[in-house]
Structure 1
Amino acid sequence: MHRFLAGCLAVSALVFAHSAHASECGYTSAGWNAPNGAVVFDRGEGPIRNVMDAIGEYRTHSMLSHGSIGAASHATMADPDQNSWPTVCGTPLNVNQLQNGYPGLEQVNQGGIYHYMYDPDGSGPEWTAWQLGDAMGAAQVADALWFNHPYVSDVSHVDSGQYIDRPLWNGARVPYSLFQYRDLQTVNQMPGSATNNGMVCSTFLAYAHNYAGRGLVSAYTYPHDRIANASNSLYTGVYNHCKASLGWFENAALTVICPVFWNVCGNAGNQVANCMAAGRCDTSSSSIWKGVRDNSSTTATSISPDRIGGWGVHPISSTLWASDYSHQLQWNSGGNVYGCWQ
């Protein structure tokens, strides 16, 4: 779902939707072996993995393949900047960047998607695979998004010579929105809407499935005990990354410049947990996410990568991809291609 909180600065270990240290631009073989319309899954490090583990699911990110030498469409999030002093002490993370994750929904080439997933040394997610299922229907999804969907193009933040396409929804760009993990709202419906006009990787695929005329992907409601576990795990994951001086907090002296009564890492964990639990990315008050956690009537309704793939409690009828098994992902086409993912 990522770089969220994986996956994606060089990218830090506190990636939301993805791998911890991927570079933004680079070369790779000309293409992967995922056919047009296949969904590519992986399991990477980061706070999203903490959330997925807490609800008993495995996959942390999902992407739509546009063919063996084509692009990939996905929604992801790079790490927000930390605020400057003294704001950083009470509200450690840039509020706008946390609430409206960049790059959000995008289409990148093989060089870009490879370097989203892997470091220059080849390290990356612990598991990758693709599923195709209904090959004709899957190709219809990919082609509808590629040929028919409105988009804008702008230059990479890293390399001004590279352009990245950004599909539009409701006439606007689509940021990565952590609140989608709590409530996808009507992203899976047509025309659909959501807070901040946002999506995450798997709710985007549900949208694409319906946009192409392949039917509604129904949401799944997680019971209270699961979201309580997820809330605790998300907070702890962010806190631990911070304390290890990774990610946004590479300079451990940060805890020195703030008064002793400021728990900077705890505030970062609260801010991210608030953002996911209640869409409140602007505060580090723990009462918001703990209020959701401690209210026995609260649930979460969303669509995860495991549901897109029909795994665990999710039926193989959930999507046109879900009837397939997992195929090993490889980059094995001749030649090479350069690209950027942000």
Structure 2
Amino acid sequence: MSAGWNAPNGAVVFDRGPGPIRDVLDAVGEYRTHSMLSHGPGAGVSHATMKTPDQASWPGVCTKPIVSSQLQYGYPGLEQLNQGGIYMYIYGDSAAGPEWTGWQQGDPSQAALIGDSIWYNHPYVSDVSKFDGNQYLDRPLRNGNRVNYSLFQYRDLQSTNQIPGDGVNNGIVCSTFMAYAHNYAGRGQVTPYTYSHAQIANASNSLYTGVYNECKSSLGWFVNAALTVACPFYNVCGNAGNQVANCMSTNMCDSSDSRYWKSVRDDPNSTARSISPDRIGGWGAHPVTNTIWGPDYSHQLQWNSGGNVYGCWQ
């Protein structure tokens, strides 16, 4: 039997898991780290995500440890898959799973309009999976193109909450996709939030430190990576932290020069303008009236079983 959750059609499903995005959101006082659009119990799921980028080949790995193109143009980006794949995406090989999961629906009829509009009306293409040549992956299109995952969305979402919308790297992230889906279904534009300089300075430091520590501990993106062994005379983990921080703060994903992200951190006029999972759900500083989901409380996410797995990305 395939996996199925209890989130109704059009509900937004949230979780709180580990990784660089959590480092950033924790630093600005927010809780949820991922958001997904449910198309109903046992049905499909639409969300934006990014597979773990590969380690660069030697000797370039010593100075720019992460394949920069994969960091800048995250794959698969915006995708649609079944709940077996989403179950493994959330839980992976961990028996404990994420720290928290939940869903919000708001008005059932309006939520269903969002779910149906993206599932039935939105253009898409089917690509052969890069991990299993026998499986296909549906990838919704924006402006006729596949939509990548772009870390720079956390600094500036540009017009991705609008219709047709756009962003550098033709990118989107999980929560800016939810804002796009809300608007695409005619439920109104979700307004972004401006983060203060103090908040983004704290987030920049936290992102760098988080990536550095994961690298040093061979965790997260750096499981099984032999970076320090391959490059004994380089601060490889520092370079990895700089590369990710540069990518998120300036969209310069091919550089490990810390001056770029630190120039943003140290500029008292720099801010960030984005839409986070907490803003989609109306948590904390974010108004409950900004989305149709916001007025709802968080319901417990429940599964009928883990089910079969047809595709997943961590």
Given the two structures, how large is their TM-score scaled by the length of structure 1? 0.89
3-state DSSP class of the match of 2:49? strand
Q: Pick from 152, 164, 177 the counterpart of residue 191 of structure 1.
A: 164
3-state DSSP class of the match of 1:317? helix
3-state DSSP class of the match of 2:194? strand
Shift of 1:69: 1.3
Aligned to 1:271: 243
Give the direction of change, closer, same or farther, for the CA distance of 1:130–1:253 in structure 2 (3 Å limit): closer
Aligned to 1:50: 23
3-state DSSP class of the match of 1:338? coil
Q: Can you list the C-alpha shifts for 1:170-216, whole angstroms capped at 9, x where unaligned?
A: 11000100000000000011221100110000000000000111100
3-state DSSP class of the match of 1:340? coil
Aligned to 1:97: 70
AA of the residue aligned to 2:203: A
Aligned to 2:280: 308
AA of the residue aligned to 2:5: W
| 1:283 aligned onto 2:255 | yes
Correspondence 1:210-229 to 2 at 5 A: 210-229=183-202
Aligned to 2:311: 340
CA distance in structure 2 between the aligned counterparts of 1:165 and 1:98, rounded to whole angstroms: 21
Aligned to 1:244: 217
Q: Pick from 251, 262, 266 the counterpart of residue 294 of structure 1.
A: 266
Q: Can you list the C-alpha shifts for 1:202-251, whole angstroms capped at 9, x where unaligned?
A: 00000000011110000000000000000000000000000012244445
AA of the residue aligned to 2:41: S
| 1:81 aligned onto 2:54 | yes
Shift of 1:337: 4.0
Gaps of 5+ in 1: 1-27
CA distance in structure 1 between the aligned counterparts of 2:225 and 2:37, rounded to whole angstroms: 38
Aligned to 1:173: 146
Give the direction of change, closer, same or farther, for the CA distance of 1:314–1:43 in structure 2 (3 Å limit): same
Q: Quote the RMSD (CA, aligned, Å).
A: 1.5
Shift of 1:121: 5.1
CA distance in structure 2 between the aligned counterparts of 1:66 and 1:105, rounded to whole angstroms: 15
Q: Can you list the C-alpha shifts for 1:73-97, whole angstroms capped at 9, x where unaligned?
A: 0000111101111100111110110
AA of the residue aligned to 2:128: V
Aligned to 2:129: 156
Give the direction of change, closer, same or farther, for the CA distance of 1:220–1:148 in structure 2 (3 Å limit): same
Correspondence 1:28-39 to 2 at 5 A: 29-39=2-12
Shift of 1:47: 1.1
CA distance in structure 2 between the aligned counterparts of 1:250 and 1:31, rounded to whole angstroms: 30
CA distance in structure 2 between the aligned counterparts of 1:250 and 1:35, rounded to whole angstroms: 35
Give the direction of change, closer, same or farther, for the CA distance of 1:85–1:312 in structure 2 (3 Å limit): same
Give the direction of change, closer, same or farther, for the CA distance of 1:151–1:92 in structure 2 (3 Å limit): same
| 1:61 aligned onto 2:41 | no
AA of the residue aligned to 1:82: Q
CA distance in structure 2 between the aligned counterparts of 1:40 and 1:239, rounded to whole angstroms: 30
Give the direction of change, closer, same or farther, for the CA distance of 1:125–1:336 in structure 2 (3 Å limit): closer
CA distance in structure 2 between the aligned counterparts of 1:69 and 1:307, rounded to whole angstroms: 27
3-state DSSP class of the match of 2:198? helix
Percent identity reads 69
CA distance in structure 1 between the aligned counterparts of 2:225 and 2:121, rounded to whole angstroms: 48
The 10-residue stretch of structure 1 (147-156 or 218-227) with the greater mean CA deviation from structure 2 = 147-156
Q: Can you list the C-alpha shifts for 1:278-326, whole angstroms capped at 9, x where unaligned?
A: 1110100000000000000000000000000000000110100000000
Give the direction of change, closer, same or farther, for the CA distance of 1:120–1:243 in structure 2 (3 Å limit): closer
Shift of 1:259: 5.0
CA distance in structure 1 between the aligned counterparts of 2:140 and 2:128, rounded to whole angstroms: 14
CA distance in structure 1 between the aligned counterparts of 2:93 and 2:107, rounded to whole angstroms: 34
Given the two structures, how large is their TM-score scaled by the length of structure 2? 0.96
CA distance in structure 1 between the aligned counterparts of 2:92 and 2:23, rounded to whole angstroms: 21
AA of the residue aligned to 1:90: T
CA distance in structure 1 between the aligned counterparts of 2:232 and 2:148, rounded to whole angstroms: 34
The 10-residue stretch of structure 1 (249-258 or 319-328) with the greater mean CA deviation from structure 2 = 249-258
